[in-house]
Each structure stands twice: as structure tokens, then as C-alpha cells.
């Protein structure tokens, strides 16, 4: 088993899809900065959250939200548009923790406190 912890911000709202057997899967991307000033770089991590948890927390996982993601790193193969086989990396989320409020410029009024997330 492997484990990865990522601290960053969501780049867009969570996208909920359903498998053919009606299991929910939520996809989102976390941007994490390293360095500062002219040496600052941003890494982007594709993440997946499965099952009822994805549906229940969708209202909280919105663009700009700061969070810590804990999960397993998965390497997968796919076929690119040009027909070549490539590899991608994603994080299968085991747990996450919201880190305060979204950036002020993107803040929306909350209907319920973050402490009451049902999962």
C-alpha cells in the first residue's frame, strides 16, 4: 500500500459521475504550490472520491476550497488521441480535511457549518 498527502486548493468544483452499476465517483483536481517568488511552481493532482461520500460532500468541494487530501497514488494506462499508449497518475482519496474558508474572492455563503459535513 502506498500513501500520499496533498495540501492545496481545488481548481474546479467536484464532478460527480456514475459507473454502469450506479456507483458514484467524484473527480477533482488539487493544485499544490512549492517554492516561492520566481522559484514557485504548481503541481496538479487528479483525485477521485468513490461512493456515497462523493455525493454527500459535493457541496463542500468547490473551486478555491483549501484542503488536505490523503489517499493512494495509482498509475494507469490510457490511449492518447494520436493512438499512442500513455500513463497517467491519480489519487484515490481515502480521506480529506477542509482547511478553513475558500479564498475571499470566491467565497459563497455557506448554508451549514463545515464542521457538520456528513461523512
The alpha-carbon radius of gyration of the chain (Å, integer) is: 16
* Average pLDDT value over all residues in the chain: 85
> What confidence tens digit (pLDDT) does each residue in 20-74 have?
999 999 999 999 999 999 999 999 999 999 999 999 988 888 999 999 999 999 9
Q: Sorting pLDDT into bands at 50, 70 and 90, what band is 1?
A: confident
Whether residue 103 is predicted with pLDDT greater than 80 in this model: the reply is no
Identify the burial level of 71 via C-beta atoms within 10 angstroms of its C-beta, where 0-12 means exposed, 13-18 middle and 19 or more buried: buried
- Domains present along the chain, CATH in parentheses: 4-116 (2.40.50.140)
Predicted pLDDT of residue 41 = 95
pLDDT tens per residue across span 2-25: 999 999 999 999 999 999 999 999
Give the per-residue pLDDT at 79.
92
Question: Is 10 in a helix, a strand, or coil?
Answer: strand
101: confidence class by pLDDT, cuts 50, 70, 90: low
- With bands split at pLDDT 50, 70 and 90, how would you rate the model's confidence at 100? confident
Amino acid at each position: 500500500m502506498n500513501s500520499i498527502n496533498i495540501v492545496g486548493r481545488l481548481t474546479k468544483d467536484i464532478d460527480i459521475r456514475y459507473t454502469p452499476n450506479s456507483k458514484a465517483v467524484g473527480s477533482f483536481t488539487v493544485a499544490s504550490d512549492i517554492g516561492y517568488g520566481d522559484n514557485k511552481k504548481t503541481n496538479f493532482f487528479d483525485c477521485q472520491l468513490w461512493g456515497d461520500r462523493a455525493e454527500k460532500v459535493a457541496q463542500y468541494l468547490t473551486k478555491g476550497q483549501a484542503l488536505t487530501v490523503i489517499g493512494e497514488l495509482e498509475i494507469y494506462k490510457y490511449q492518447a488521441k494520436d493512438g499512442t499508449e500513455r500513463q497517467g497518475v491519480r489519487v484515490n482519496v481515502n480521506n480529506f480535511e477542509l482547511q478553513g474558508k475558500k479564498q475571499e474572492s470566491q467565497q459563497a455563503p455557506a448554508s451549514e457549518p463545515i464542521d457538520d459535513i456528513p461523512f
